[in-house]
């Protein structure tokens, strides 16, 4: 049965998106610091986390691949772009004018797949997509990806599978690592091997480097596909 593998990239919203009361709430921990230097450091730390929260960030890219065929799409926000049409290319890069268009296009693809695979999608990608879609009134075509945790259908989260659902805690034999670490351990090309990481997305977006974000996101998905195939061959079925 075809399985959709996907990953998202997010970027923090500017402070102008939040009123004074919201900013007071967001930076409350910073105001508790003992001096101005500590306050400034804490504010910077909090703002770095904006990209992780769907109420302080937006989705700027979603890469998707069919795990069986390797064909797919990369949807990405772009203010200024040139259409690229490569006949018979396995992956189509699709620029979108805004987040609303991007999410709408994603849910249109998602409804055609019974099963999906992610790396940490249960903890991050899926709730982020659900909440951003709700905020923008974008219809969600699949609302079952956060169902029963101990099933791999319809959603196989490899971060859950490779830790056996957190059986060891933070420091045991099945402790959790990031995607880059798993890829290197299993001799899969790391998505970070080209010098771009998720920490660079805000700067790349500000610089108008939309395609670099899209290509990085696609590398994440290709690595996840390879890891999924390895898990399916060697580890699937362990209870």
How far apart are the C-alpha atoms of 90 and 104, rounded to whole Å?
22
The pLDDT of 193-209, averaged and rounded, is: 88
Q: Answer whether residue 194 shows pLDDT above 90.
A: no
| Helix, strand, coil % over all residues of the chain, rounded to 5 | 45, 15, 40
Q: What is the pLDDT of residue 85?
A: 55
Q: What is the pLDDT of residue 238?
A: 86
Interval 73-118: pLDDT, tens:
999 999 876 655 556 789 999 999 999 999 999 999 999 999 999 9
3-state DSSP call for residue 26? Answer: helix
Contact 2, 68 (CB under 8 A): yes
Q: Collect all residues with Cβ–Cβ distance below 8 Å to 4 and sequence separation of at least 6.
A: 64, 65, 66, 67, 109, 110, 113, 115, 116, 117
State the burial class of residue 62 (Cβ atoms within 10 Å of its Cβ: 0-12, 13-18, 19+).
buried
The pLDDT of 37-55, averaged and rounded, is: 96
CA distances from 83 to 74, 80, 93 (A): 13, 10, 9
5 pairs with which residues across the strands? 65, 117
Q: What b/e string do you get for 45-56 counting C-beta neighbours within 10 Å, with b at 16 or more?
A: eebeebbeebeb
Note the pTM of the prediction, 2 decimals: 0.94
Instruction: Give residue limits of the domains in the chain.
Output: 3-18+56-234
Three-state SS sequence of 53-78: CCCCEEEEEEEEEECCCCCEEEEEEC
- What's the fold here for domain 3-18+56-234? Nucleotidyltransferase; domain 5 (3.30.420)
DSSP 192: G
How far apart are the C-alpha atoms of 138 and 96, rounded to whole Å?
15
Contact 182, 226 (CB under 8 A): no
Contact 103, 59 (CB under 8 A): yes
pLDDT averaged over every residue in the chain: 94
The pLDDT of 58-87, averaged and rounded, is: 87
The pLDDT of 113-132, averaged and rounded, is: 98
How far apart are the C-alpha atoms of 43 and 29, rounded to whole Å?
8
């Amino acid at each position: 049965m075809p399985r959709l593998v996907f990953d998202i990239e997010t970027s923090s919203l500017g402070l102008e998106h939040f009123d004074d009361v919201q900013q007071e709430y967001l930076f409350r921990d910073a105001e508790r610091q003992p001096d101005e230097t500590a306050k400034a450091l804490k504010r910077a730390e909090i703002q770095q986390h904006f990209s992780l929260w769907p109420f302080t960030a937006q989705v700027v890219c979603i890469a998707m691949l069919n795990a069986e065929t390797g064909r797919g799409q990369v949807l990405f926000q772009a203010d200024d772009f040139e259409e690229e049409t490569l006949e018979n290319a396995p992956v189509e890069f699709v620029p979108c004018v805004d987040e609303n268009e991007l999410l709408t296009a994603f849910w249109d693809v998602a409804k055609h797949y019974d099963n999906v695979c992610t790396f940490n999608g249960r903890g991050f990608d899926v709730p982020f997509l659900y909440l951003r879609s709700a905020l923008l009134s974008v219809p969600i075509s699949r609302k079952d990806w956060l169902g029963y945790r101990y099933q791999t259908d319809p959603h196989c989260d490899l971060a859950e599978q490779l830790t056996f659902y957190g059986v060891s805690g933070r420091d045991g034999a099945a402790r959790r690592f990031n995607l880059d670490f798993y890829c290197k351990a299993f001799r899969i090309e790391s998505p970070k091997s080209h010098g771009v990481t998720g920490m660079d997305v805000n700067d790349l977006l500000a610089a108008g480097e939309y395609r670099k974000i899209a290509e990085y996101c696609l590398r994440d998905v290709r690595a996840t596909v390879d890891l999924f195939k390895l898990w399916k061959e060697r580890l699937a079925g362990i209870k």
